[in-house]
């Protein structure tokens, strides 16, 4: 497939529970790529929420790869599940001056998300009660379920003459499941608008380039082009190796690139890992370093943004960030980092960086380089922490237990002093991470160097603001 044996597909993977800044990382890297290069998604659907600030405006991409504002080819890969109407509406939010449809293609093997998949997702989640896993309700799990059950409809099916009939058969099967298992009857009225939107989306997809993912990758590499495989969610949400069962329905780590694009594993090179300077998590599941512990988890589960604004109407961010009450610290960190779910609008749980979990994620992703995001959020802290070890059954360890949610874990922390001033003053300045150069505050450099030494990989970008250009690029 690949004439140049040295060229590999580069996965760009989140090393935490998602929301690490993958969209910005991809956009930053893609800005230096050419029309011969490719950025492709390989798994997930519109449960992703990759936020990019372009020319002062915020865009949240759920399906479209984050290289859309560059010159690169962009592709929705075989391992994805695609809601046609959501896809259409996402394209309509892109400014008219951005020419991208000629660069956009979709795999025929990607699975279609039907309107009834959304009903199955939301009703199933509600039926779990307190045992819910925190689904986004986008129909992702039911869509992948149909694929495993060998009855899914895929992008390639939309050109078949019997497509509408096959759609109706599967739709009616879903309605039976809803009625017989969940005691929920879907009315024709409920479905009518959703189906109208679905067929509008199908019409749009028929106008696009339908291209086999493996062929596209092979063609790009054969012409010495670069290929970036953009991950969604995060490693710790992987269906098999994440914090099961609080996971997504696809393989989110670098190993998923081969199955998600239909390419040999030998074509996959070392990954670029994206990690936030602290940790966040949306929804249910274990979170060893969470500020406020169980109180925070319950608050973020039961409350909305408006509730938090009413409870903390005019926060003094500085004093709250340095409060002795860890729950208050967590609230302030959420506000300082604008940690609200890009897809769900839910409050993100916040906590310190977890070195054992990041090391685990790096190992299974073959991470060779790192992008560190949101370092600027620490501007008003007096000190920051990272978890270096767990204490489980009285013993210190960096090993991740088989079932994180069933262990009573105490974290061992290392503290760092914070810098004075704002890191935004350093936007766009290349750095050797040399404290004598004055390119960054020494406290920030010491923190970055500690992470590099501890994690065993170079940090190639340090993000110090939301805009694509608000990055400090590493050079040697």
- pLDDT at res. 189: 86
Shared-domain flag, residues 224 and 193: no
Residues annotated as part of the active site: 19, 50
Phi/psi of residue 274, each to 5°?
Answer: -105, 125
pLDDT of 227 higher than 60: yes
Kindly state whether residue 472 falls inside one of the protein's structural domains.
no
Domain boundary among 226, 241, 275: 275
CATH number of the domain enclosing 144: 1.10.300.10
Shared-domain flag, residues 188 and 312: no
The DSSP line for 309-328 is HHHSSS--HHHHHT-SSHHH
24-35: per-residue pLDDT in tens? 889 888 888 999
- pLDDT at res. 55: 79
- pLDDT at res. 436: 45
Q: Which helix (H) or strand (E) holds 119?
A: helix 115-127
* Torsion, Cα of 297, 300, 303, 307 (10° steps): 120
301-352: per-residue pLDDT in tens? 999 999 998 888 765 666 788 889 999 999 999 999 999 876 778 899 999 9
Number of domains in the chain: 3
Structure tokens at 438: 């004055």
Query: What percent of the chain clears pLDDT 70, i.e. is strictly above it?
Result: 92
pLDDT of 357 higher than 70: yes
Domain boundary among 175, 205, 235: 205
Shared-domain flag, residues 199 and 222: no
What number of H helices and E strands is found in the chain?
14, 20
Residue 313, judged by CB atoms within 10 A of its CB (0-12, 13-18, 19+), counts as exposed
Q: What is the mean pLDDT of residues 129-148?
A: 82
- pLDDT at res. 3: 46
Write down the pTM of the prediction: 0.91
Q: What is the mean pLDDT of residues 357-378?
A: 96
d(CA 294, CA 287): 9
- Angle, alpha carbons 403-409-411 (nearest 5°): 130
Kindly state whether residue 417 falls inside one of the protein's structural domains.
no
d(CA 365, CA 269): 10
**Which one has a higher pLDDT value, 130 or 184?**
184
271-303: per-residue pLDDT in tens? 999 999 999 999 899 999 999 999 999 999 999
Domain boundary among 313, 329, 351: 351
Which residues constitute the domain of residue 190? 111-205
Shared-domain flag, residues 81 and 227: yes
Q: Which helix (H) or strand (E) holds 461?
A: strand 458-463
Shared-domain flag, residues 100 and 138: no
Kindly state whether residue 391 falls inside one of the protein's structural domains.
no
d(CA 361, CA 275): 10
pLDDT of 180 higher than 50: yes
- pLDDT at res. 136: 75
d(CA 55, CA 52): 10
Shared-domain flag, residues 118 and 139: yes
Say which DSSP state 474 is in.
Answer: B
Question: Where residue 427 falls among pLDDT bands split at 50, 70, 90?
Answer: low
- pLDDT at res. 319: 77
pLDDT of 127 higher than 90: no
Q: Using an 8 Å Cβ cutoff, are 125 and 133 in contact? A: yes
Kindly state whether residue 423 falls inside one of the protein's structural domains.
no
The DSSP line for 64-119 is S-TTTTSSSEEEE-TTBEE-HHHHHHHHHTS-TT---GGGEEE-TTSEEPPHHHHH
248-273: per-residue pLDDT in tens? 999 999 999 999 999 999 999 999 99
Structure tokens at 462: 């340090």
Shared-domain flag, residues 75 and 117: no
SS3 content of the chain, % helix, strand, coil (to 5): 40, 20, 40
Q: What is the mean pLDDT of residues 81-100?
A: 94
- Angle, alpha carbons 182-248-156 (nearest 5°): 85
Q: For the chain, what is the mean pLDDT?
A: 90
Kindly state whether residue 394 falls inside one of the protein's structural domains.
no
Question: Where residue 50 falls among pLDDT bands split at 50, 70, 90?
Answer: confident
Question: Where residue 164 falls among pLDDT bands split at 50, 70, 90?
Answer: very high
Kindly state whether residue 258 falls inside one of the protein's structural domains.
yes
């Amino acid at each position: 497939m690949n004439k140049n044996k040295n060229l590999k597909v580069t996965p760009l993977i989140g090393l935490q529970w998602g929301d690490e800044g993958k969209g910005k990382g991809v956009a930053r890297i893609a800005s230096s790529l050419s029309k011969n290069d490719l950025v492709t998604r390989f798994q997930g659907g519109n449960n992703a929420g990759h936020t990019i600030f372009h020319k002062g405006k915020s865009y949240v991409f759920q399906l479209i790869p984050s290289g859309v504002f560059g010159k690169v080819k962009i592709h929705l890969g075989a391992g994805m599940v695609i809601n046609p109407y959501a896809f259409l509406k996402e394209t309509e939010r892109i400014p008219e001056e951005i020419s991208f449809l000629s660069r956009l293609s979709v795999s025929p093997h990607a699975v279609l998300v039907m309107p009834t998949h959304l009903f199955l997702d939301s009703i199933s989640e509600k039926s779990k009660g307190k045992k819910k896993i925190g689904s986004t309700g986008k129909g992702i799990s039911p869509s992948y379920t149909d694929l495993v059950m060998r009855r899914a409809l895929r992008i390639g099916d939309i050109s078949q003459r019997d497509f509408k009939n096959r759609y109706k058969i599967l739709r009616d099967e879903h309605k039976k499941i809803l009625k017989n298992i969940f005691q929920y009857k879907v009315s024709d009225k409920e479905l009518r608008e959703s189906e109208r939107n679905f067929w509008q989306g199908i019409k749009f997809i028929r106008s696009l380039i339908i291209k086999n993912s493996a062929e596209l990758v092979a063609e790009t590499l054969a012409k010495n082009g670069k290929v970036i495989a953009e991950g969604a969610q995060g490693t710790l949400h992987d269906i098999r190796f994440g914090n099961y069962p609080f996971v997504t329905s696809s393989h989110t780590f670098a190993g998923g690139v081969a199955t998600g694009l239909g390419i040999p594993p030998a074509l996959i090179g070392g990954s670029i890992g994206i990690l936030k300077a602290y940790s966040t998590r949306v929804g249910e599941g274990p979170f060893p370093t969470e500020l406020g512990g169980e109180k925070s988890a319950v608050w973020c589960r039961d409350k909305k943004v408006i509730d938090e604004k009413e409870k903390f109407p005019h926060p003094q961010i500085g004093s709250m960030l340095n409060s002795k009450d860890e729950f208050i610290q967590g609230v302030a960190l959420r506000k300082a980092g604008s940690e609200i779910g890009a897809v769900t609008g839910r409050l993100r749980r916040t906590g310190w960086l977890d070195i054992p979990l990041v090391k685990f994620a790096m190992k299974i992703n073959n991470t060779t380089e790192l992008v560190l995001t949101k370092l600027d959020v620490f501007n008003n802290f007096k000190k920051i922490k990272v978890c270096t070890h767990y204490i489980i059954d009285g013993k210190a360890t960096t090993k991740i237990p088989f079932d994180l949610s069933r262990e009573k874990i105490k974290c061992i922390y290392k503290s760092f002093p914070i810098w004075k001033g704002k890191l935004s003053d350093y936007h766009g300045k290349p750095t050797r991470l040399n404290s004598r150069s004055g390119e960054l505050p020494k406290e920030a450099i010491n923190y970055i160097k500690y992470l590099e030494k501890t994690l065993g990989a170079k940090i190639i970008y340090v993000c110090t603001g939301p805009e694509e250009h608000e990055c400090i690029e590493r050079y040697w």
